[in-house]
């Protein structure tokens, strides 16, 4: 079962903590691999999403923005994830190196694990809604 908190409640209850700064988003091989995966377009056959803009600047800015403005999802494995719905395009989706769609939201996963935190663009159409477990506010997830 997943649990959801709106941004305000997640800050008040201490679930939402500041993201790593600077190299903290690429300071081990796992996070560096995720950074490369979601900032460099490639012609691989798999579906993947890539942030738009200058790679390092966009990646860090979107993760910081998600943590500053997004809402919290605690998944069935008790991992803290954050979803932020942007006001424009956050990235693109590629399949086989070809554009297949624009992304308008960001998901930061493993927020509570400093060794695995990373983010990627997602489509707004992938989102649904739920209620904040603390205040009842409706939030997209």
> With bands split at pLDDT 50, 70 and 90, how would you rate the model's confidence at 17?
confident
Domain assignment of residue 125, given as a range:
3-140
- 112-131 pLDDT tens trace: 888 999 999 999 988 888 99
* pTM of the predicted protein model: 0.88
Q: What is the pLDDT of residues 56-111, one digit of tens each?
A: 778 888 998 999 999 999 988 888 999 999 888 999 999 988 899 999 999 999 98
pLDDT band at 134 (very low <50, low <70, confident <90, very high): very high
For 29, counting Cβ atoms within 10 Å of its Cβ (0-12 exposed, 13-18 middle, 19+ buried), the class is exposed
- CA angle, corner 72, sides to 67 and 77, nearest 5? 120
C-alpha to C-alpha distance for 140 and 132, rounded to whole angstroms: 10
Q: How many domains does the chain have?
A: 1
In this prediction, residue 141 carries a pLDDT of: 66
Residue 97, burial from CB neighbour count under 10 angstroms (0-12, 13-18, 19+): exposed
Query: Mean of the pLDDT values across residues 37-55?
Result: 82
Tokens linked to 27: 């300071």
| pLDDT value, residue 58 | 83
2 torsion bin: left (phi>0), alpha (psi -120 to 50), beta (else): beta
Q: Are 93 and 123 in contact (CB under 8 A)?
A: yes
Decide: 52 and 92 in contact? Cβ < 8 Å: yes
């Amino acid at each position: 079962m997943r649990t959801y908190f709106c941004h305000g409640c997640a800050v008040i209850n201490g679930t939402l903590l500041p993201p790593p700064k600077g190299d903290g988003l690429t300071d081990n091989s796992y996070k560096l691999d995720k950074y490369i995966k979601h900032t460099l377009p490639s012609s691989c056959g798999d579906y993947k999403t890539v942030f738009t803009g200058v790679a390092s600047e966009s990646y860090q800015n979107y993760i910081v923005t998600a943590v500053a403005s997004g809402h919290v999802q605690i998944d069935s494995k008790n991992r803290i994830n954050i979803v932020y719905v942007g006001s424009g395009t956050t990235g693109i989706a590629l399949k086989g190196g070809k554009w297949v769609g624009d992304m308008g939201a960001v998901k930061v996963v493993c927020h509570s694990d400093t060794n695995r935190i990373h983010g990627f663009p997602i489509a707004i159409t992938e989102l649904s809604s739920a209620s904040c477990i603390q205040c009842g506010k409706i939030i997209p997830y």
